[in-house]
Amino acid sequence: MLLDGHSMAYRAFYALPVENFNTTTGQPTNAVYGFASMLANTVRDERPTHLAVAFDLSRQTFRSAEFPDYKANRAKTPDEFRSQVPLIGELLDAMSIPRLTVEGFEADDIIATLATAAEAAGFEVLIVTGDRDSLQLVSEHTTVLYPTKGVSELTRYTPEKVQEKYGVTPRQYPDLAALRGDPSDNLPGIPGVGEKTAAKWVNQFGSFDELVTRADEVKGKIGEKLREHLDSVKRNRVLTELVRDVELPLGVPELARGAFDREAVGRIMEALEFRNPNFRERVHGIDPSGAETAAETSAAPGPEVDGELLTVPGALAAWLDEHGKGLVAVAAVYEWALGAGRVQEIALATADTAAWFDPAGLEEADDRALTDWLADPTRPKALHIAKHVMRAFAEQGWQIAGVAADTALAAYLEKPGRRTFTLDVLAEEYLARSLAPAAEVETGQLSFDAEEEDTTAGARSLMTQARAILDLAALFETRLAEVGAVGLFHDMELPIAELLARMERFGIAADRAWLEGLEAQFAAEIQRCVEEAHAAAGHPFNLGSPKQLQEILFGELGLPKTKKIKTGYTTDADALTWLATQTTNELPVILLRHRDQAKLRTTVEGLLKTVSPQGRIHTTFNQMVAATGRLSSEGPNLQNIPVRTEEGRAIRRAFVVGEGYESLLTADYSQIELRIMAHLSEDAALIEAFASGEDLHTTVASQVFEVPGDRVDAEMRRKIKAMSYGLAYGLSAYGLSQQLGIKPAEAQGLMDTYFERFGGVRDYLQNVVEEARAVGYTETLLGRRRYLPDLTSDNRQRREMAERMALNAPIQGSAADIVKIAMLKVDRALAEAKLSSRMLLQVHDEIVLELAPGEREQVETLVREQMADAYPLRAPLDVSVGVGANWEAAAH
């Protein structure tokens, strides 16, 4: 089997959306994933004994020397694809699959050479490629597998299939291709001559050479066209013929499949964050050595669970009394939607035993024993995604205290960049243990009557999960100590999970009528934009169709061309914004307005769907998404609600104070990231700028531009603000130039002047990357680590992306940690003061509380004190507070 590496990787790149395949360091992986998946499936199905992958080395080949315009029409290779080719090479090396390149030749020529040699040696040959030129290699012993849908469906081209599809034999295919031309290779054909006419000529005259010799016999205008273009089609014929005698470093015998370096394959998959067990198993499954380890492929079942079904009255109370004093793992089958939460089954496990019971069948004494045990903070419990369990159990009237371990949160702190935290994946990865349904696992020690078989299977499966939680909890205690995260885990993340569970249950009141009015307003504005756009274009069109937009903007209206992409010229928001500055035509501005209004309407529609019958919106907070430790939310995503526009702020007015409460209070930190940067860099000038009490950006601009403070204009302040925040997020001079709309040289000069004034910031930014490169990770003020292996990568793009993250992670991560500390301090202070006010939301660096009647002054003082005291920075934390009847009115 011979594969055209570039061809198949390109197809994988465009078959899988790149935005869905990125590592936490920003490295795209869709081409690698798609290529590896296609390779694994095809090798599994075809079982070749010899295997190689050929790649193009560059576009400079003997063909481009013969015809300089050869492939000259192809767009620049996307950076997102280019950075993945070396990664595919690394994976192939680890899989012991030879990869071949030859200067001056294309992958097709390498494949043609190997296929010819293999056929002569008596092999059956399969060629996997998306290049039709390889069809000329098809014979009784060589088949081309050509992708017809992404890389998942391959069509087998035999001699009969080539004849059926193109009307010529494989040997005649280059003749057909020369006459037809090939737009993808920029080889011009004969005007008016398609595949059918070309095939007719080839069959009529027997060969291309014969057709050229007897070209005068082709009558009519089509014959004239043939004769006019004879020189170009003769050149095409030379270029489409594949070379079958390229000098190669390896011959067919050296392509025999060898055993994987399984450790190297595992390292690469982990670095690329390919953690899907099915994917990993498919890739490992084609290792010809057949060597399998439980951790790498199909994990083994866990230890047999010696458990019991607690089905008689008093059994649960007795079990808890005997076994419930030490660490107990809790696994449950539950739904945790507000008002619909229902716990269907619960399993408990200790190091020595396990138990299962149905909560619905508990009698009063057992229910009381369970309630008391769950709420007892001296009884340690291990859970998986504790916040979800707390939400579900609360619907049953059970409060959980004494959570000593959360295996999902622990996995997040150990590897904050991972994507998957499901229990089965963690058990497979860390314990080499399968949590397959009971029917798929050998029977353990439980034995029941036949009529109880279904219940038994479910009970055994859930007890197996509980035992896995227990074992993972023990393992992660060691792992967390190794990464210095024990304090973060017990003092911050576990308490925050409990607080977030309460906040999710509280929700926030919503004004449905206001939202419905906004939805109608945005819908009307969208329609107005459509009508204006149709008038500007002179005819109706679909504003959501990139193809129609391209035709109108760059064809009919002749506007300046934007960035070239595969389908033409981009019409994304950045391109439209640029176009608006390059033309007096109003269409780009109308299109931007239409998109903005459509986005706002979508946001409002999403909010309306989440308003509960009780009139409150209950978002779900995510602790384990952002590698920096920042919280996010979903269902709805409250971070999506814009705050910088009047229309966006209007949406915030829909979040109102609830019945029984007096008002909402919002509090956040002023310029927390810049204060952290001042603290970490110990830059005296920047710390003094904060201490002055004046507007920070004006003070800094005064120093950078060397003008008095009252001479700093809005543009100066804007530039300094963009740069100050940009430096905290790893912004380059080019990025700053794009953001400010200035030339890169001017942006670099601005940064140089800034660093002259604030040398401590410059030194810190340089040192933090070098220190991270030396130890492999960055660290926040509270010790949260972010591992960045790409800091030492040979791939420049991956390395630079990791360097930007090394700049950003300590600052953004420290801000996230400080906000969490503040939330916990405020929550504890409210409880100690026995106040009824409560925390509802955390969005970005802002917290929102609902104030009980008569508590405003006390809560405002408490919030300011607790938040300001969250962490002792050299540039002290500054807290802003506002109060109002809705979220927007409470802004400050």
DSSP one-letter string for 710-740 = GG--HHHHHHHHHHHHHHHTT--HHHHHHHH
**Average pLDDT rounded to a whole number, residues 588-613:** 94
CA neighbor of 288 nearest in space, from 87, 519, 514, 43: 43
pTM above 0.85, yes or no: no
Residue holding tokens 């009884």? Answer: 379
Q: Tell me, what's the pLDDT at 296?
A: 42
pLDDT tens-place string over residues 359-377: 999 999 999 999 999 999 9
- pLDDT at residue 287 above 70? yes
- pLDDT at residue 215 above 80? no
Residues 6+ apart with CB under 8 A from 132: 146, 173, 177
Q: Tell me, what's the pLDDT at 558?
A: 93
- pLDDT at residue 588 above 90? yes
Which secondary-structure segment (H or E) carries 683?
none
- pLDDT at residue 183 above 70? no
Q: Tell me, what's the pLDDT at 453?
A: 54
- Distances in whole angstroms, Cα of residue 153 to Cα of each of 16, 18, 81, 128, 591: 14, 20, 21, 11, 38
Residue 248 CB neighbour total at 10 angstroms = 19
Q: Tell me, what's the pLDDT at 450?
A: 40
The mean pLDDT of the chain is 88
Question: Given pLDDT bands bounded at 50, 70 and 90, which one contains residue 865?
Answer: very high
Which segment of 161-175, 214-228, 600-614, 778-792 scores lowest on mean pLDDT?
214-228
Question: Given pLDDT bands bounded at 50, 70 and 90, which one contains residue 63?
Answer: confident
Give dist(CA 390, CA 383) in Å, integer.
10
Amino acid at 95: M
Question: Given pLDDT bands bounded at 50, 70 and 90, which one contains residue 14?
Answer: confident
For 26-30, the CB contacts below 8 A with 24+ separation are: 26/801, 26/805, 27/83, 27/87, 27/272, 27/790, 27/795, 27/797, 27/798, 27/801, 28/80, 28/81, 28/83, 28/84, 29/84, 29/87, 29/272, 29/273, 29/274, 30/84
pLDDT tens-place string over residues 708-741: 988 999 999 989 988 888 887 777 888 888 788 8
CA neighbor of 328 nearest in space, from 307, 345, 352: 352
Amino acid at 774: A
Give dist(CA 662, CA 789) in Å, integer.
51
**Average pLDDT rounded to a whole number, residues 43-61:** 88
pLDDT tens-place string over residues 526-557: 999 999 999 999 999 999 898 999 999 999 99
CB 172 within 8 A of CB 207: yes
Phi, psi of 709, rounded to the nearest 5 degrees: -55, -35
The C-alpha R_g of the chain, in whole angstroms, comes to: 33
Q: Tell me, what's the pLDDT at 385?
A: 96
**Average pLDDT rounded to a whole number, residues 206-214:** 77
Which segment of 48-52, 213-217, 584-588, 590-594 scores lowest on mean pLDDT?
213-217
Q: Tell me, what's the pLDDT at 40?
A: 93
Q: Tell me, what's the pLDDT at 301?
A: 62
Q: Which domains does the chain have, with CATH numbers?
A: 2-165+243-255 (3.40.50.1010), 304-507 (3.30.420.10)
Q: Tell me, what's the pLDDT at 439?
A: 34
Give dist(CA 630, CA 806) in Å, integer.
16
**Average pLDDT rounded to a whole number, residues 285-309:** 66
Give dist(CA 677, CA 256) in Å, integer.
56
- pLDDT at residue 269 above 90? no
- pLDDT above 70 coverage of the chain, percent: 93
Question: Given pLDDT bands bounded at 50, 70 and 90, which one contains residue 313?
Answer: very high
- pLDDT at residue 295 above 70? no
Out of 153-167, 301-315, 331-345, 380-394, give the one with best mean pLDDT.
Answer: 380-394
Q: Tell me, what's the pLDDT at 75?
A: 59
Q: Tell me, what's the pLDDT at 564?
A: 81
Higher pLDDT among residues 401 and 434, named by residue: 401
pLDDT tens-place string over residues 426-482: 998 888 888 864 333 333 333 334 445 567 888 999 999 999 999 999 999 999 999
Beta strands in 267-360 (DSSP E): 300-301, 307-309, 328-335, 342-349, 354-357
pLDDT tens-place string over residues 116-150: 999 999 999 999 998 888 999 999 999 999 988 76
Q: Tell me, what's the pLDDT at 77?
A: 74
Q: Tell me, what's the pLDDT at 200?
A: 79
Which secondary-structure segment (H or E) carries 625?
none
- pLDDT at residue 291 above 70? no
